[in-house]
Amino acid sequence: MMSPLLKASAVSTAIFLLGTIVFAREGNNGKGSPIFGVQLPSGYRRWQVVSVAHEAGSLNDIRVILGNDVAMRTFRSGTRPFPDGAVIARLAWRYEPSSQNNAVFGQAQSFIAGDPTNVQIEVKDSRRYAATGGWGYGQFENGIANPSAALLNTCQGCHSKLPWTEDRIFTHYAR
């Protein structure tokens, strides 16, 4: 038999763990990103590939851009603007040389994905995000929404500099 004290302790540990899991899964306690309230979409890691890229300089990452079904249909058809419901996910990892691969190839040529840096999510909702061209933004580290509003203003600031024909999206579909 478990003593009442141990039992109470086990129950409160379980409640604490449950709370932690819910917090991590919902990102920022369910509120999502600042300004936009964008959430980390469930299942985004299994979405289809739009394209890949490497950002050098201070970012120094290697990244893949994924889309939900609505976004992929639009990328493949080449039509713009993206319809409401399109969601794009950009996953980035530290850009690192691969000692394993370079040893096999006999020369330093291979760069791979290291630890994850962050995930950025863009959601098209032409009414809700009318002030930012129809797109809402969020950045997530370890599943938690980054709380910086200044950061998200730099997102939409850069995206708004693209030619209007791109509908504020940098990436083109890689055929």
Positions touching its own copies (CB under 8 A) are 45-46, 48-49, 51-57, 59, 62-64, 66, 91, 93, 95, 98, 100-101, 104-105, 107-113, 116, 158, 161-162, 170-172, 174-175
* Residue of 25, 30, 29, 58 lying closest to 44 (CA atoms): 25
Listed in sequence order, the residues at least 6 apart from 131 whose beta carbon sits closer than 8 Å to its beta carbon are none
Q: Which is nearer to its own copies, 3 or 142 (CB)?
A: 142
The Cα 140–Cα 119 span in angstroms is: 5
Q: Which is nearer to its own copies, 23 or 173 (CB)?
A: 173
Could you tell me if 36 and 136 are in contact, meaning their C-beta atoms sit under 8 angstroms apart?
Answer: yes
Q: Which is nearer to its own copies, 3 or 58 (CB)?
A: 58
Beta partners for 21? none
Residue 127, classed as helix, strand or coil, is coil
Q: Which is nearer to its own copies, 16 or 170 (CB)?
A: 170
CB of 25 to its own copies, least distance (A): 16
Q: Residue 122 carries which side chain, given as an amino acid letter?
A: E
The Cα 56–Cα 2 span in angstroms is: 57
The one-character DSSP state at 56 is -
CB of 18 to its own copies, least distance (A): 23
CB of 27 to its own copies, least distance (A): 17
CB of 141 to its own copies, least distance (A): 13
CB of 71 to its own copies, least distance (A): 13
Q: Which is nearer to its own copies, 4 or 57 (CB)?
A: 57
